[in-house]
Structure 1
Amino acid sequence: MRAIHRLKAGYERDITFLRNHAARHAGSTASKSSTRHALAVKQNMAKALTRHFTRCPLCG
């Protein structure tokens, strides 16, 4: 279970950083880019956690 928490914490830290950056620069192209990148990171997190659940004998 430690691996899941580490994976999730890393991704959530990146997502929070990108969302905060988007909020600071609202209305700019940097904001739009950060928002799109945050969504992509969230999808990558879902894929990574799914891969982990299917491969890990302890979790899956």
Structure 2
Amino acid sequence: SPSKVSKHPQAVNFFNSGSVVKDWYRGQLGNALAAVNIADVSFIMYYAPWDAESQYVRGEFELAAN
């Protein structure tokens, strides 16, 4: 019988490619933590790309980053 589990969608950037926000959209937590450790100030946003509130806050996060 056919599988009842669908494949997950391909991971894509949540933020625009020209953004100053670094987006570790594939879950590269080690890379994110390394960047945080060398920066004076960091803001971290955990998001779900399908979540309406995450989508709304994305623009606010971009504004704060600039």
TM-score class, shorter-chain normalisation, is 0.3 to 0.5
- With a CA cutoff of 8 Å and minimum separation of 6, indicate the structure with the bigger relative contact order: 1
TM-score after normalising by structure 2: 0.32
Q: TM-score, normalised by structure 1?
A: 0.35
Larger Rg: 2
